[in-house]
Structure 1
Amino acid sequence: MKIGIDKIGFATSQYVLQMDDLAQSRGADPEKFSKGLLLNALSISPITDDIITLGASAADSILTEEDRASIDMVIVATESSVDQSKAAAVYVHSLLGIQPFARSVEMKEACYSATAALDYARLHVDKHPEAKVLVIASDIAKYGAETPGESTQGAGSVAMLITQNPHILELNDNTLAQTRDIMDFWRPNYSTTPYVNGMYSTKQYLDMLKTTWLEYQKRFETSLTDFAAFCFHLPFPKLALKGFNKIMDKSLPAELQEKLQENFENSILYSKQIGNIYTGSLFLGLLSLLENSQNLVAGDQIAFFSYGSGAVAEIFTGKLVEGFQNQLKASRLRELKERIVLSVEEYEKIFFEEAVLDEAGNASFANYKTGPFALKEIREHQRIYGKVND
């Protein structure tokens, strides 16, 4: 049975911080960000636009009423959870009006968990061929003002509908994962921002890529010659470029090297304008590749490197299906330019705002611009979500 990504959607916040403005405010050379990280801008999310609203917005952009009546599982992968008990998927299920007899769960393992969600979704569809599974990777990367990680923040969500006979990408069975118990990035329950060992994390990312890819080639008797593109987890595009250079085989025909390089450049276009979205970064790279590449055709194989600090990595592959181009959107880069540009002072106020609860556990918020959904209020410690115009 052919199982894979039938539809893919994306949502990000309505506000943006330009990296040149951040550099000027922090007394840094702008090229530290533009060349050192390959970042031009960061999506900045206000308190009313969180992983629930972003995830629901991403899914709402692709789902039909028939989909909502057929989906029997919703999985939200995140490391920005809003509740230690209630799954984000339950909120999203309600906002989207999905039929009630569906399983809704949340998954976590840093930036890797959306890949695990795909695995789970594929197994479910294999067992229940008529099923549709909604997988959402939704995160807000937040490190704090004037911290070392400030320049790799961001916000966004990628939604994927997993079905049999998909219209975009057929997932192959050959996958390989690797786990290492390391402390490169973590966020204890008592902290609102993560702890990061940046250089160590970069080395682990690259070494897990190298060792997993070598073992993958050995186990499945494959090589780069079998692929038209290679997508990477994108905490920032420059790290993915280092990964691309690490696996590039210089003995490949020049034409194939050029194709792989061109497709890599296309895969990082959106991340350059959005920043880090944790669990969704790899799949934002896929979306960017598909919507901007001029050389991909049905039948092309794409390889993926997923990485989540702590750490779990996985390499998996997929094949583009006939007509995949019809499921894509050509206007996304133009729409990103329509976000509201924030000054550094405005960014510091909006991005790091926290709810102030009264004695009864209530909080209200300013009327920030969001997508079709928003966090309306907190009432007796309950997060109340709804459509913007309701």
Structure 2
Amino acid sequence: MPTTAELSPAAAAALFDLPRPAEECRIVVAMSGGVDSSVVAALAARSGAEVIGVTLQLYDYGAATGRKGACCAGDDIRDARDVAERLGIAHYVHDHESAFREEVVEGFADAYLAGQTPVPCIRCNMGPKFTDMFAMARELGADCLATGHYVRRVMGAAGPELHRALDPARDQSYFLYATTDEQLAFLRFPLGGLPKDEVRALAAAAGLRNADKPDSQDICFVPDGDYAKIVTKMRPEGVRPGKIVHAATGEELGEHRGVIHFTVGQRRGLEIGGQPEPLYVIGIDAEAAEVRVGPKRMLAVESARIIETNRIGPLPDAPLTAKVRSLAKPVPVVLDGPLGDNAATTIRFVQPEYGVAPGQAAVIYAGERVVGGGWIASTEGVAG
């Protein structure tokens, strides 16, 4: 792919599917401070449109200064500012710390205390990153809101569709299943057809200071990966010890320091010895502070009930698959009920699926297209 300097304005504008000539348009770019959103801003500027970069400050700036591997805080805000200055575009920072704490961080803590395995990145996209940023972009008179997500917006017979990124290693569609039709009509994802190495090359060619900035590997507000520490800090009164019992026999096998240290499918960290076969977390009863363990075969699930469902576009008359974890492979499923409008429904796996955890999202696909999804509320094990 040509560098941003070599890319013609018309070619850059085509990445944004603008409704009018670029010079008559305004593009708002969600800038987190990372290399991906910075390249989107550079491409938008190259298109000839008026470009405004917007960054949501999600943490206390002073406390986050110098912090690495986060998003929308500390050095990331400075990087976004510097990129905007280099590109000659306007840049605004909006304080969303309170909303982020209430909608994402506190929800994350409460979910763990309830024995669930939350996905805060989806909650963030459903709230601060899309809903709030969407409203800001509208207020700024933008023709579209562009982000650095690795997904594709493809025009279908019924309107825009959300598709997986061409590079499966970078695909972020699992985290965007809750995107509404209205949002998708306004959103643009110019990086969905590019591999990461080309994105970094574009950043370097544009002289962006964060061209070599490492990708964040953890949840942004848990940069060290210690989820339990965050939950304990947020809800210290809710963390209590309990028993580890065998899911089949009810036999007490040990004790634990709190259900927040466990997720369904977990094997390590149980600290149970002398068992005839490896044991996994089969279920968590948060009310009883009980962790239930058993052999891997007990993890087999034949269906899952999902709630607060969203559908993107019409439901296709085609085979469906589902991802029940961000890194899982899509597996064939059948829908048993409606999808969308916050309805509850059941997905039935054609073959038993393992490690399906309440609190995670089940995202439904038809080939490369994201059909929608919902939150896993409960599962039904394989009979016998």
Select the structure that is richer in helix: 1
**Higher RCO (C-alpha under 8 Å, 6+ residues apart):** 1
TM-score, normalised by the number of residues in structure 2: 0.30
TM-score, normalised by the number of residues in structure 1: 0.30
